[in-house]
Amino acid sequence: MTEIPHRGTPHYDALETYSADERAAAMAAALPAIVAHAQRSTAYFGAVLKGVDAATVATREALSKLPVTRKSDLVNLQAASLPFAGMLAVPIGQLARVFVSPGPINDAEGRGRDYWGTARAFYAAGFRAGDLVHNTFSYHLTPAGSMFETGLHVLGAAVIPAGVGQTEQQLAAIAALKPNGYVGTPSFLKILLEKAVVAGQPITTFQRALVSGEAFLPAHREHLASVGIDAYQAYGTADVGIVAYETSARQGLVTTEHALIEIVRPGTGDPVADGEVGEVLVTQLSANHAYPLIRFATGDLSAVLPGPSPCGRTAMRIKGWMGRADQTTKVRGMFVHPHQVAGVVKRHPEILRARLVVSHVNGEDAMELRCALLSSPPAGLADAVVASLRDITKLRGDVVWVDTVALPNDGKVIDDTRKFG
């Protein structure tokens, strides 16, 4: 396969370079339409968004007042109302594919061009029509294989559906077919490259890679560059597809154009300030979406990276995947959720930020709510917060005041310090 240079414009489409005004206008058109569609076409959002005037949901601020739907609740919601908890806007037979991810969580792939929005991420990573791409995500029961393949087909690239495992056969296929691109996890790319060297048949045809599914560290990226592979990462979920993708600017990840991304305080629906770590929320923007999730809390942590990307893309940037937001734990046999901690903070406007530290002392679980305050605590605040904590969690806990620097900006609301097993 001969070298295929990056062709055409640096951007996938005109959306990527919209001005702030153009973005606001597009959002003002898309948001009310998708909210109305979700209310009208799904039993779930018909109930959850009952009474909401869709026409008024035309800005990020208006959206931020709507209820959150949590991925962590999907297992139970779906089990109670199979298969999609009333969230599908079409009969199941009108989907393209249906998956069952571990959980189990049923995942829907609607019909239409590039449902998961992966073509844009491939384009930013330098993939073009005529490429031959080795796809090592699984196609079986989980969506990643199909998710990345459909975007490659939209770009006009050919795919080797390699899937997971069968490393020897994969190496033989690479040697015979000479793909110039790779998509899969970064760790499996490492395995393929190393095993090929051991087998005396190093892989020399890969020129670019799109990696996802796990952390992708700079050292790994630099090593790949040293063997001639230009690798970019994308972040997505099995529910909504690509959320954000890396570009040649190599500064954070640019959020996708087919969905609206918010970063909120874990356990709440409240947006955090730019730069603060919080939970990633996704709202689908495509009209008539088959699975129109509104304020879907992914359970992943990230943070807004302020300012525009030097690559020219004007969409909001995030810092990439920064861990899991879901910090629900059990204390003395009772569940304690991040939204309960947020509930305590809300009752007391003096508290700027708080973190619940769970430990095990003298054979018993202990809770300590560490609060950073806006100013010196008024008399009686500690007792009031202890009471709120007990009221909301049904558990006894201590309250201490700490400096804001003692609560680093890492999105952690519950810090479970107990050692299990």
Nearest to 413 by CA among 302, 277, 269: 277
Cβ proximity to a copy of itself, 76 vs 169, nearer residue: 169
Closest approach, Cβ 141 to a copy of itself, in A, equals 6
Cβ proximity to a copy of itself, 119 vs 159, nearer residue: 159
* Sequence-distant contacts of 174-179: CB under 8 A, at least 24 apart: 174/134, 174/203, 174/205, 175/201, 177/132, 178/1, 178/132, 178/205, 179/1, 179/132, 179/133, 179/134, 179/205, 179/206
Cβ proximity to a copy of itself, 128 vs 319, nearer residue: 128
Cβ proximity to a copy of itself, 126 vs 278, nearer residue: 126
Cβ proximity to a copy of itself, 60 vs 178, nearer residue: 178
Cβ proximity to a copy of itself, 189 vs 303, nearer residue: 189
- Is residue 47 within a helix (H) or strand (E), and if so which, with residue range? helix 43-48
Q: What is the spatial distance between Cα 374 and Cα 352, in angstroms, rounded to a whole number? A: 6
Closest approach, Cβ 182 to a copy of itself, in A, equals 14
Q: DSSP letter string over 15-50?
A: GGG--HHHHHHHHHHHHHHHHHHHHHH-HHHHHHTT
Closest approach, Cβ 94 to a copy of itself, in A, equals 6
Cβ proximity to a copy of itself, 59 vs 169, nearer residue: 169
Exposed e or buried b per residue across 244-276, where buried means at least 16 C-beta atoms within 10 angstroms of its C-beta: bbbbbeebbbbbbbbbbbbbbbbbbbebbeeeb
Q: DSSP letter string over 105-119?
A: EEEEE-SSTTTT-HH
Cβ proximity to a copy of itself, 130 vs 377, nearer residue: 130
Q: What is the spatial distance between Cα 85 and Cα 28, in angstroms, rounded to a whole number? A: 28
| DSSP-derived secondary structure letter, 245 | E
Closest approach, Cβ 113 to a copy of itself, in A, equals 13
Cβ proximity to a copy of itself, 145 vs 252, nearer residue: 145
- Residue pair 45/292 in contact (Cβ under 8 Å)? The answer is yes
Closest approach, Cβ 107 to a copy of itself, in A, equals 11
Task: Give every CB contact of residue 365 below 8 A, 6+ residues apart in sequence.
Answer: 331, 332, 358, 359, 418
Q: Which two tokens stand for residue 69?
A: 């739907």
**Which residues form the interface with a copy of itself (CB under 8 A)?**
1, 4, 78, 82-83, 91-100, 104, 106, 129-132, 138-141, 145-146, 153, 156-166, 169-170, 172-173, 176-178
Q: Which two tokens stand for residue 371?
A: 């609060």
Closest approach, Cβ 193 to a copy of itself, in A, equals 19
- Residue pair 301/322 in contact (Cβ under 8 Å)? The answer is yes
Closest approach, Cβ 359 to a copy of itself, in A, equals 37
Closest approach, Cβ 95 to a copy of itself, in A, equals 4
First to last CA, the chain: 52
Q: How far is CA 143 from the centre of its chain?
A: 15
Closest approach, Cβ 170 to a copy of itself, in A, equals 8
